[in-house]
Structure 1
Amino acid sequence: MATLFASAFSDTPRRRAGVLWLPALCGVAVALALFFLVGEPAVAAGFAGAGLLIAAALFAWAALRRPAPVAVAQTDWSVAHVLAASAHEALAVTDRAGRLACANPAFEMLFGGFPAPPSLPLSGDGEALLHAASREAWRDGEAVRQVSLSDASRITAHLVRAGDDMLVWRFASTETIDLPAKAQAMLTGEFGDRIGGAGIMAAVLRPDGRVRAANSVLRARAMGDRDAEMEGRDFARFLVTDNRGFVRFEREGMNGNPIRVLHLPFADGEQSPMLVALLDEEQVNLPAPLPQSAGGHVRSLVSLIPFGIALVDRDGRFLHMNSAFCKSAGIDPDNPPLYPSDLVVREDKAPFADVIRRSANGAAYAADMPVRLKERPDEPVAVTLVGARGLGEAAVLVTFKDSGEESKLKRQVAQQTKMQAVGQLAGGVAHDFNNILTAIIGHCDLMLMRHAPGDSDYDDIQQVRANSHRAASLTRQLLAFSRQQTLRPQVLQLPDVISEVSNLLKRLLGETVELVVQHGRGLGPVRADPGQLEQVVVNLAVNARDAMLSKHPNGGGTLTIETVAVSSAEVRRLADDELPVGDYTALIISDTGTGIPQEALGKIFEPFYTTKEVGKGTGLGLSTVYGIIKQSGGYIFAESPAGGGARFSIFLPVHAAQMPGKAATPLSARPKKGDLWGSGTILLVEDEDMVRAVAERALTRQGYTVLTAENGEAALELMEENPELDLLISDVVMPGMDGPTMANRIRKRYPDMPILFMSGYAEEQLRNSIDIDNVAFLPKPFSVQQLAEAARDVLRAE
């Protein structure tokens, strides 16, 4: 009962009233039951009155305990309205009853008012689809449907439930706007006529410059008929430019009113259509000249400036340009362009024009930017724009810096640096390889002393020895590329070298290739190694033969070898930065083969670079040629003329007679027949263990007493212990104390001590760094016999 009464004050008013009347009804029911059972009206009336009294008391108590009415919260839609208004898509909010609570202006524009979704002006079964989507969103929280508007355009409805009482509707178009098509429709419609009434002629052009659409005013001016067909015609053919840069309609002739052509970028991409607008110039005499008081002086000053400069007015038109500017920008002075942006490629027009506009209207500051000229689209040029003040109509100074020569020089320096670095690497590899070959060849010689011809191992040892010598020729090629090979220079005439090698060339070229030799007059002598020059000619001839056979598989072609005298005056006229001024004897070798691809011209002298097929050519031929010519003090240039074939020009400086001086010591010991036995004590200094062991065994077998040391410090200690030394044989490059430093210290104590240097590096390079008189040199790799002969010759010379 207590629970029942408690619920009377916490439930709805109707239920609360029913519970409060319950005591009264119970009292009446008990009174009637007593009346029928006892028959006493007074007792029954007492029970009925008690029930009524209790009910009245409960009513009074309930009235005092009734809670105060709770105010219903009102939704604040102000923030939702602001967010919806800022959205580009159509938005709406409905409640559970389907009433529209909120919508933005985009919703109004899309549906022509504020109808409550899903009852929208849609085509087909669109409204039924939105009804189903709303039920799904109330159930699942989200739903998506695609429907069509009355104009057949498709939209996507995205429904999201917000809480338990609201549904958010978002409508987005599923169709991509075709800007060119939209612009085309606008120009040919009412909008085109409206802007035409304001004096604006407009057209949409295809990427190839042909008309896609034009408004009626442009049709009338360009073709004389507002309804004429311009579509598909070249837009540039409707315009002409006079010698002052004014643009006019071709139909109106040179007496027509000048027009200004504006490019309006509205789509990205190189193949995108273009929107152009044409305006009549307000002043026929533009470009306006500078005031006579200052303009004449400014023009004269600009014309005298040695670098390219031009004056531009506030509207972005050229006022004046000097001859240097015309030359750097590739402009015809008799037919200059009207705007600076006409000089650059299409992609750079808009940013270039924008920088000019900002420079003309802003403060006087310099703006630098790279642009690509129409004449040279591959190499950007630097352009500087400076806002001008106090020069009359001139508002911008424009200068072009042609960096073509600078870029060429940078590439040449980078190429020379790379070649030098690779050359140093090749020299280091050749040095280490020569040490290894010295040990291999020496051990083979020692083994051959114990095996006679016919022995089972004799032929195998000879094969190892022969292959070692082949490997030694490879190291000589590496040294030739690095300009570190040992040369035997002589004063000679180039025709004599060509005559010596001609018979060999005829056999190499074959019967189908014609050899033409032409010698010029007045050829000066050159100083070079004849054997190395012959190798240069042979390498270039073999490459030419392969190129001609590639072009003519059945044979045929001509190899031309020319010798020409080049005076210093002719070198000045060549104006080549790499070729110093002087007198040269040139060797020119040309062929009628396939030529050299332009992209390969800068790489053909690099080691291991070849344009031949895989398996043909090592890529060392031209690098060897380059190294030989450079070490001989000459210069080599490769080109591929337009008519086909390749052309190599070699310039060797003319040799001038030198004053007689100190006789040069023989550079190396040549093999000689005779008795190789000797006596005496030899100090052998070599940091490579395998080379030191072979040399020690070889000299010991010839009767010498050999003391060995692995470096210069150990050699000086041995000399203190054994003061009686007859010969010093030492490597040049060693860790710690090198050979020349050690030899200088020994010469201070023993001035007449004979010295034989051996090294895997180039002799010419080492002699420049060895400041010691009366020394002999033995290049690695060497055989046992060569070492014995060199030691014998040095000792006998003493």
Structure 2
Amino acid sequence: MVVAAAASGALLFYLIGLPLYGGLFLAGFVAMLVAAFVIDRRGARRIEVEPVILPDLALVGSALGFSSDPAAMTQADGSLKSINPAYKVRFGQQAPLDLGKGKQATKAIQSLRESAVRDGESSMADIPLTGGPANVQVARAGANGDLLLWRFVGAAPPDLLAVAAKRVSGATGDRLAAAGVLAALVDGNGRLIAANGLFTERALTGPLTLNEVPPFPEVIETSSEGAVRLVAEGPEGRPLRLISIPLEPAGEGGAATMLLFDWEEGPSLATSTNVQVLLEMLPIGLALVDRDGRFLMMNKAFRVAGGLPTDEMPSYPGDLVVKEDKAAVADAVRRNARGPSMSGDLPVRLAHQPGEPVALTVAGLRGLGDAAVLLLLKDNSEEAKLKRQIAQATKMQAVGQLAGGVAHDFNNILTAIIGHCDLMLMRHTPGDTDYDDIQQIKSNSNRAAGLTRQLLAFSRQQTLRPQLLQLPDVVSEVSHLLKRLLGETVQLVVKHGRDLGPVRADPGQLEQVIVNLAVNARDAMMSKGGGALTIQTYAVRADQVADLGSEILPIADYSALSISDTGTGIPASILSKVFEPFFTTKEVGKGTGLGLSTVYGIVKQSGGYIFADSKVGEGTRFTIYLPVHHVEAEKSSGRRPAKAAAENELWGTGTILLVEDEPMVRTVAERALTRHGYKVLTANNGEEALEIIDRGDEIALLISDVVMPLMDGPTMVRQARKTRPDLPILFMSGYAEEQLRKSIDIANVAFLPKPFSVQELAEAVRKALSDN
């Protein structure tokens, strides 16, 4: 076809009378044909190369070498074709099918091969292999899919011999050489594997290499006195002691690290300079004791932990501990020195630090000359202090939870008592024979309510409810309690100044401050057989603040409260730490370290300031400054008294649903609300309350306890709000409002703390209705 096309072109040019152009056309066409033929032949040679069906194994080996995990290429039947260096180090020349350690592992590998051939890939974790367990992955490869790529993922067990050789010839060997110790690593055949610089310098003629290295038995020779000598140093060489430290358990290779010490004149290797230098290198306290229980030597860390001077060594281990622990230490040393070799920890109290128990490890030694017992002592004072603080905090948290629960139950009981007293007072007037008795019951109940507030304050569950009060009134309320707490040997002296301004604080918390400071003062005076506790209140005007010389106290009017004792006093070195949490000067188990930190927190939360002043041997004085709260006088323009107006406003109408699981509280609340004009529906629990709500009755207010069995108050309210989203809610509980509001994520709810009086309940109901 090509020739025909060329001839046709040439004939065409010839017929039209242009033979020259016809010849040129034919010649050019032939040249093009030749060039095309050459190019076509070159391209054909490239295309004619057979595709690689079986990869170049050298290329595959190079590619596998980039993997840090052992990898191999095999035929589909498992016959090995190529491996990478990691595979060779771990498994040698074994085929993957031969790596299983046991019948089950071999069966698992065969199953992996079959699955990979069938499905293209397969994997299995933790297969026990000869080189240790590994995760095995197998994938089909090759142009025809007749090859398998194996990958073994998992850390290989360390080569103990290689690790030991690196340490002996590295930094560890250098440290041993600095201590004058020759170190060498010998395999099971007695061949030298590695050595430190000192061994190479003294025992070998040149650097240690794998070629032409004499066996270890040929490097040393035994002398007549039982020591060994280096052959390189000749008969006049220094005698050495040889200690062999097996690298592996018996029967598994026999490799060992050989340590050679200079032979020193003396009864024991334990007293040699080399051993002393080695012990000083260790960061833990170690000491060696002979069979008679006497110290042979100890390192610096042991001296520091035991509180010993650097130039002093006691005779016996019992000299380190308190008198009560001497017998136990002596007995433990004697048993480990003469009995079978064993070890154990012994809790002791050191003589220089009797309040900090420590663990003394006692271990028996054999084969180290006169050294029969090894003692290990660690300076763990900071660790022990932290553990005590954590244990104390955990204990305080548990006790706080218990105190909060007890306060909650007492608040329910006191609510019933106070409520019934109020109901009885409505039927009696002053002058009746029972009126004073009822008032006395209510007064005592209110005092009991104050104790429950203190329990909540102790458990850190008290919400501060500040009110205007006078410091002398607070001191008078707490004086009867202080007289019982102080005992017969401590005299209580109370002094009040004049013109004290009112302060705004929580009376219960302020009473707790006074009690804590008084108890601390009592404890400080007990060691002196008693003393006097003076509580004084006085006014501090703004122009007097500058005279106090305090840079912390702002210029303002204050009502001050000072509590001073005649106790032992507080040293100046620790006076600045007394308000820190967990800091206490009392003995272990007698002080929590939270009393003064609680006092500080309450005073600061009340907007006040507290200062401590003390002299050793004379006593301590704590002074609290609370800012005076100025109240503007109310204008009386013919307005009715507030109390009369409040009583008239407490009456109301409407239906109230009361939900309370405590019958005594439910009864008194129902009677109180009924007497104030409300219609009351009662329910024992949340489920019963929801049934009443589902009836469709008109309910103006829902009053509910928070903690109830079966269904608690918040859960019940959430269900009720689904059908009545605008229903007013009033929660009542013996727990603190602040703690409950953190756990109750319900909007537009009011709160009434227990215990409450009939009037307080009526006021809370009226406020909840008016706010909605």
TM bracket, shorter-chain basis:
0.3 to 0.5
Indicate the structure (1 or 2) with the bigger Cα radius of gyration: 1
Please give the TM-score of this superposition, normalised by the length of structure 2.
0.46
